Amino acid sequence: MKIVHVSECPTSLNSGMGRIQYNWNREIESRGHTLQCIEPKELGKLKHPLFFPIKAKAFLRNSSISPDAIISHEPASGVFVNKAPVFLVSHGIEARYWELSLKGKIPNQNAGNFKTRLLFPLWRLSVCNKGLRKAHKLLLSNEEDANYAQLKFNRKASDIMIFKNGYYFESVPAQKSMMAEPPVILWNASWLDRKGKTVLVGALDLLYKKGILFHCTIAGTGYPEDEVLSEIPADLHPFITVISKFQSSEEMQLLANSSIFVLPSYFEGLPLSLIQAMASGLCCVVSDNCGQRDVIKHNLSGLLFETGNPEKLGIELERVIKDIELRNRLAENSKNEVKDWNWKSVSKEVIDFIERSL
As a whole number, mean pLDDT of residues 101-115 equals 92
**Residue 179's pLDDT band (cuts 50, 70, 90):** low
Please determine, for residue 177, whether its predicted confidence score (pLDDT) is greater than 70.
no
Q: What is the pLDDT of residue 89?
A: 98
pLDDT at 176: 62
pLDDT single digits (tens) 112-153 = 898 999 999 999 999 999 999 999 999 999 999 999 999 999
Judge if 127 and 36 occupy the same domain.
yes
What does the DSSP 8-state code read for residue 10?
A: P
Residue 302 DSSP symbol: B
Residue 38 near residue 59, CB atoms below 8 Å: yes
Residue 175: predicted pLDDT? 64
Whole-prediction pTM: 0.94
74 has pLDDT over 80: yes
72 in the same domain as 174: no
Same domain, 158 and 77: yes
> E strands of the chain, at which residues?
2-6, 34-38, 69-73, 86-89, 137-140, 160-162, 184-188, 215-219, 240-243, 260-263, 283-287, 303-305
Do 183 and 142 lie in a common domain? no
Q: What percent of the chain has pLDDT over 90?
A: 89
- Cβ partners under 8 Å of residue 171, min gap 6: 248, 251, 252, 255, 276, 280
Q: pLDDT digit string (tens) for 198-253?
A: 999 999 999 999 999 999 999 999 999 999 999 999 999 999 999 999 987 888 89
Average pLDDT over residues 21-40: 97
Is 299 in the same domain as 191?
Answer: yes
Domain shared by 150 and 248, yes or no: no
Average pLDDT over residues 55-63: 95
- Of 51 and 248, the structure prediction assigns the larger pLDDT to 51
Do 204 and 244 belong to one domain? yes
- Nearest C-alpha neighbor of 162 from the set 95, 91, 264, 97: 91
Q: Can you give the CATH number for the domain in which 120 is found?
A: 3.40.50.2000
Mean pLDDT score across all residues of the chain: 95
Distances (CA, A) of 7 to 39, 56, 277, 293, 351: 5, 9, 26, 27, 17
Predicted pLDDT at 256: 93
Same domain as 233, residue 324: yes
How does DSSP classify residue 39?
A: -
Q: Are 215 and 268 within one domain? A: yes
Query: pLDDT grade, residue 171 (50/70/90)?
Result: confident
Same domain, 43 and 147: yes
Q: What local confidence, expressed as pLDDT, does residue 36 receive?
A: 97
Decide: 315 and 305 in contact? Cβ < 8 Å: yes
Domain that residue 31 falls in: 2-166+343-356
Q: Are residues 101 and 200 in the same domain?
A: no
Is the preceding omega at residue 182 within 30 degrees of 0, hence cis?
A: yes
Reported confidence tier of residue 347, pLDDT bands at 50, 70, 90: very high
Number of structural domains found in the chain: 2
147 and 11 in a single domain? The answer is yes
Residues 228/218, Cβ–Cβ less than 8 Å:
yes
